[in-house]
Amino acid sequence: MSGFWQATMDLITSYGSLISLAGLAIFGVMAVNALVAVYFERKVSAFMQDRLGPMEVGIFGFKGGRKFWGGIGQTLADALKLLTKEDVLPDKSDKALMILSPFIIFVGAFVTFVGVPFSSYLLISRFDIGIFFILAMSSVGVVGIILAGWGSNNKWSLYGSLRSAAQIISYEIPAGLSILLVVITAGTLSIHGIVEWQAEHRWFIFHSPFAFIAFFIYFISGVAETNRTPFDIPEAESELVAGWMTEFSGFRWALFFLSEYANMLIISLLASVVFLGGWLSPMAMFDIFPESWMIMDGALWGMFWLLLKAIILIFVMMWFRWTFPRLRVDQLMYLCWKVLLPFSLVNLVAVSIWELLF
Amino acid sequence: MSEYFSNIVSGLKSFTKGLQLTMQHFNNRKKLVATLQYPHEKWPIPERNIGFELEEYNVIRSRLEVDIEDCIGCLKCERACPVDCIKIETIKPPKGGDFDCGVTTNGTQKKMLVPRFSIDMTECMFCNLCVFPCPEECIYMVGGPNSSKHEIEYEFAARERSPLIFEFAVATEKEIIAAGGIDYLNKKKGIVPDEKPKEVKSTLKKTEPKLNFEAVNAFTDRMTRALAKKAFTAGARAGSDAATVATQVKSALVDADKFLPEYESIIENIASSPLMTSAGPTTELKAKPASGPDIKLLNSITDKMVRGTAKKAFMAAKRAGKDGAGISDDIKKALTDAGKLTDEVIAILKSFSVPGNSEVSNESSVASAPDIKKLNSIEDKMVRGLAKKSFMAAKRAKSSAADTVAHILKDLKEADKLTADLEDIVKSIVPDTVDATPAPKTEFNLDIKKLNSIEDKMVRGLAKKSFMAAKRAKNSAADTVTNILNDLKEADKLTPDLEIIVKSIAPDTVAATQAPKTEFNLDIKKLNLIEDKMIRGMAKKAFMAAKRAASTPEETVAQIEAVLKENDKLIDEVQTTVKSLLENES
């Protein structure tokens, strides 16, 4: 045992500065993502509902556009407000779990970023089992959610957390099966291996009709895993106040928020990498462009293409959220077990045969 | 199984349809966004066309506004307020003092000083209930009929409460003190005088001889007068002699920058006149009205505005210490300046200049036997006024009955108004002719109510007026009728129908008119068959007129038809209905 601790300490001392640098980078990405995405989400929702959203708060006297995209400092102000709020722990709650659970959820999202690439070069670690790692780590959050619900000692919170657990565990299956198609086809769990396969052949979404369907199955499951509307039954304002987040306030609640938007980014990035060609430029997909244009495939351009794809997917998630009403619990389970799961199973078999035939 | 797939298909369809809808809104946000960026953008104040004229219907109630110079301090608005957001405090200037509260634009003499008139608009609920009771119409809602007076405030918002509590009173401290509101001021400032000294003060006041303000009152400017009085009172109370008090008054005025060279003579006057009135307060009160003509004489001026101006001039002149003739000159001047001088006023003013006529002696009224009421039978208002005036003058002069008559006749002759009729009337006031007058009174038994059958309001009013005039003159029945007819003829209103009605008032024709009245048994309800409301109303009106005029059934029908024909409403159906009035009778 002492050998294990010794090895860990050695690792930290030798790679400490590197690890903390990577950690700070991930945290920076998560924080900026949350700031931008919350603002983006509020604007999108406002425009879809014929409103304007935040328009007044600015940074350094700059409010943003006067007509539509104003109020760019709103999320920053809200974040500052959250950080200065009182940290309330209910009397009868399990205080240890209440304090612990936000960090478990946060760590779940945080660690997932270790395997998520921003371009072919810009990533923390290049695993051979990248996809597997991402799928595994993004499920850690469920533990935090259950602890949060239980620790709150509140019926609504417990209800919400159990719904959330059931939902995430259920939707892991079609999501995993959809990604399995890619793994089977590309023959690797490595993210780079999958993108390289797409560079050689074509984007996986255009691999076959079944892969096309698989993308949508994965994306819908991904939305469900982030507990966003129309799959937000764990929060369900009208039924459960705020679900498992009810009893949380201040900084610990801010961590939930941060994790939710980080999960959105993870799901979108993964979908882009696996199905939409990752950091490959869309122009490389077609042969009609002259060779000289292919400079758009460099390292920074790669990040641009990947983030563009992710942002479009995030926008689609928001689009879903402000379009559809919440599913009932039974409808949610029906969709997962009776629609998405059979289709992904059929997909799996069909893509296997497709690979044999072509 | 097919249901399963059809469910999925319809699910996908609604899925895309929903996404399309929200995307449409997202894309067309520039057209669709409904938000108004309020502090930066504002809705225009909407046009208020709700089918009423703005003058008639106050739709905008922006806030309450008070024209404080018109406020008489009646407290009606304060009482009307359901939420008690109006707070008014008033000071009543002491009686006999000459603090002038001013005149409202309606010509009402204000009797109160209003040192506080605050409206808390944070409490106001804009019910408009305070606006209706105001007799001077000085409290009103900004907007609506008053939109020209004030700008309508768009937001009417403030960061704190204080700017929303409006104080409209403008009375200065000096004015309040001049109006005798020292106690009020002290109370407001939190200086509560000790109880005991107050009592001593009040008892002292009673025993002390009153201060002689006559000389000080010569200051015409209100502010100056108040200042001078204050200094005068202080000096007199301190026991100084007249000369020192006068210098004190002068220095007080100089300090306040109010001293003018022409005040020098007044200051000298103060120095020479005694500080205290020699007599007690009761004698002073009696002496005051005796010192000049009575302002009440001016009450006989009919025009409100003229009366107000005249009174103001009167008070000013009186304060300046002028005698009757001087006062009347002043009033005349003020009225000519205002372009309001009429003969009536001159006649009234004449009585001012007669020396001694203002000395009212109460005993004379008991002794004088002639009855002024007999003069009421004089028809012409002007003449009546003149006669009465000279009657009163004679009475005041304690003339005998015969002298009074002679006096009145003389005055009337002077005014070129004397007629033979008038002479009779004037002579009748002498007691020994009293027996003669009650007799015609009992004889006068004409019924004014018969005139009610005159349809036209104006004509009816004229006829009644001359009827009353005739009654006052105690004319015989025949004379009355001719009088009325003459008057109507003069006014170009005499028609044959009218003549019949007027003639019917004479008692000897009563018997003739009463007979057909009982005969008039047509049923007005038959007219209800007329469908059109307007026509029905017209027909009924004509019916009632005919009934009042005691027409025969045939005449009635003819009259109704004539009225309808005039208005182009005589349709066949209506005609048959009207005619049916007759049928049923037979």
Inter-chain touch A50–B29, beta carbons under 8 Å: yes
Tell me how close the Cα of A348 comes to any Cα of chain B, in angstroms. 19
* Least CB–CB distance from A50: residue in B8, B23, B32: B32
Q: Is residue B58 part of a domain?
A: no
* Cα three-residue angle B271-B277-B282, rounded to 5 degrees: 160
Q: Are residues A117 and A62 in the same domain?
A: no
pLDDT band at B344 (very low <50, low <70, confident <90, very high): low
pLDDT at res. A346: 92
| CB A137 within 8 Å of CB A101 | no
Q: Are residues B344 and B376 in the same domain?
A: no
Q: Is residue B321 part of a domain?
A: yes
Tell me how close the Cα of A69 comes to any Cα of chain B, in angstroms. 12
Q: Are residues A188 and A76 in the same domain?
A: no
Structural domain including A3 reads: 1-84
Q: Are residues B94 and B151 in the same domain?
A: yes
Structural domain including B481 reads: 441-517
Last residue of a domain, one of B406, B436, B466: B436
Last residue of a domain, one of A20, A52, A84: A84
- If you average pLDDT over every residue of chain B, what do you get? 73
How many contacts (CB atoms, under 8 Å) link A and B? 41
Task: Output helix, strand, coil percentages for chain B, rounded to the nearest 5.
Answer: 60, 5, 35
Q: Is residue B40 part of a domain?
A: no
| Other C-beta atoms lying within 10 Å of the C-beta of residue B49 | 9
- CA–CA gap between residue B343 and residue B304 (Å, rounded): 16
Last residue of a domain, one of B495, B517, B539: B517
Last residue of a domain, one of A32, A61, A84: A84
| Residue B37 touches chain A, beta carbons under 8 Å | yes
Please tell me which residue, A305 or B391, carries the higher pLDDT value: A305
pLDDT of B314 over the 90 cut = no
Tell me how close the Cα of A299 comes to any Cα of chain B, in angstroms. 33
- CA nearest to B29 within chain A: A47
Element (H, E) at B90: strand B86-91
Q: Is residue B536 part of a domain?
A: yes
Last residue of a domain, one of A31, A54, A84: A84
Which of B118, B163, B170 is CA-nearest to residue B139? B118
pLDDT of B299 over the 90 cut = no
Q: Are residues A227 and A307 in the same domain?
A: yes
Residues of chain B contacting residue A49, judged by C-beta atoms under 8 Å apart? 25
Helix (H/G/I), strand (E/B), else coil: B211: strand
Q: Are residues B169 and B70 in the same domain?
A: yes
* Least CB–CB distance from A339: residue in B8, B34, B37: B8
Contacts of residue B581, defined as CB under 8 A and 6 or more positions apart, other chains included, come to: B522, B523, B526, B527, B553, B556, B557
- CA nearest to A317 within chain B: B19
Q: Is residue B509 part of a domain?
A: yes
Q: Are residues A49 and A111 in the same domain?
A: no
Q: Is residue B200 part of a domain?
A: no
| Residue B31 touches chain A, beta carbons under 8 Å | no
pLDDT band at A204 (very low <50, low <70, confident <90, very high): confident
Last residue of a domain, one of B353, B376, B404: B353
- CA nearest to A44 within chain B: B26
Residues of chain A contacting residue B18, judged by C-beta atoms under 8 Å apart? 323-324
Q: Are residues B70 and B153 in the same domain?
A: yes
Q: Are residues B262 and B299 in the same domain?
A: no
pLDDT of A237 over the 70 cut = yes
pLDDT band at A1 (very low <50, low <70, confident <90, very high): low
pLDDT at res. B286: 40
Q: Are residues B70 and B173 in the same domain?
A: yes
Tell me how close the Cα of A223 comes to any Cα of chain B, in angstroms. 15
| Residue B18 touches chain A, beta carbons under 8 Å | yes
Residues of chain B contacting residue A51, judged by C-beta atoms under 8 Å apart? 33-35
pLDDT at res. B53: 56
Residue from A40, A213, A323, A326 whose CB has the most chain B CBs within 10 Å, to mutate = A323
Q: Is residue B317 part of a domain?
A: yes
Question: Could you give the percent of chain A with pLDDT greater than 90?
Answer: 9
Q: Are residues A75 and A100 in the same domain?
A: no
How much is the ipTM here?
Answer: 0.80
Q: Are residues B347 and B395 in the same domain?
A: no
Q: Are residues A181 and A297 in the same domain?
A: yes
Which range of A275-284, B9-18, B380-389 scores highest in mean pLDDT? It is B9-18
- CA nearest to A315 within chain B: B23
Q: Is residue B528 part of a domain?
A: yes
Positive or negative CA dihedral for B347, B348, B350, B356? positive
Could you report the per-residue pLDDT of B20-77, keeping only the tens digit for each? 999 988 888 888 888 888 877 777 766 655 555 555 555 667 788 888 888 888 888 9
Q: Are residues B84 and B101 in the same domain?
A: yes
Number of domains in chain A: 2
Please tell me which residue, B92 or B192, carries the higher pLDDT value: B92
Q: Are residues B239 and B317 in the same domain?
A: no
| Residue B369 touches chain A, beta carbons under 8 Å | no
Element (H, E) at B353: helix B343-353
Q: Are residues B86 and B165 in the same domain?
A: yes
Could you report the per-residue pLDDT of A320-332, keeping only the tens digit for each? 988 988 888 888 8
pLDDT of B295 over the 60 cut = yes
- CA–CA gap between residue A302 and residue A296 (Å, rounded): 8
Number of domains in chain B: 7
| CB B246 within 8 Å of CB B277 | no
| Residue B29 touches chain A, beta carbons under 8 Å | yes
Q: Are residues A59 and A175 in the same domain?
A: no
- In this predicted structure, which of B315-329, B376-390, B474-488 has the lowest mean pLDDT? B315-329
* Phi-psi sector, B139: left (phi>0), alpha (psi -120 to 50), beta: beta
Residues of chain A contacting residue B33, judged by C-beta atoms under 8 Å apart? 47, 50-52, 68
Could you report the per-residue pLDDT of A121-164, keeping only the tens digit for each? 777 777 788 888 888 888 888 888 889 888 888 888 888 888 88
- CA nearest to B33 within chain A: A50
Residues of chain A contacting residue B30, judged by C-beta atoms under 8 Å apart? 67-68
Element (H, E) at B120: strand B113-120
DSSP state of B239: T
Burial of B15 (C-beta count, 10 Å sphere; 0-12/13-18/19+): middle
Tell me how close the Cα of B42 comes to any Cα of chain A, in angstroms. 15
* Cα three-residue angle A164-B12-A331, rounded to 5 degrees: 30
| Residue B30 touches chain A, beta carbons under 8 Å | yes
Q: Are residues B105 and B91 in the same domain?
A: yes
Tell me how close the Cα of A167 comes to any Cα of chain B, in angstroms. 20
pLDDT at res. B197: 44
When pLDDT is averaged across residues A96-102 and rounded to a whole number, the result is 89
- In this predicted structure, which of A1-10, B292-301, B379-388 has the lowest mean pLDDT? B292-301
Residue from A42, A45, A47 whose CB has the most chain B CBs within 10 Å, to mutate = A47
Contacts of residue B94, defined as CB under 8 A and 6 or more positions apart, other chains included, come to: B180
Could you report the per-residue pLDDT of A257-313, keeping only the tens digit for each? 888 888 889 999 999 988 888 888 777 666 666 666 666 666 778 888 888 899 999
Here the CATH number for the domain that contains residue B105 is 3.30.70.3270
Inter-chain touch A319–B19, beta carbons under 8 Å: yes
Q: Are residues B499 and B539 in the same domain?
A: no
pLDDT of A184 over the 70 cut = yes
C-alpha to C-alpha distances, A54 to A43, A70, A253, B168, nearest whole angstrom: 7, 7, 21, 42
| Residue A339 touches chain B, beta carbons under 8 Å | yes
Q: Are residues A101 and A62 in the same domain?
A: no
Please tell me which residue, A183 or B201, carries the higher pLDDT value: A183
pLDDT at res. B289: 42
Q: Are residues A215 and A138 in the same domain?
A: yes
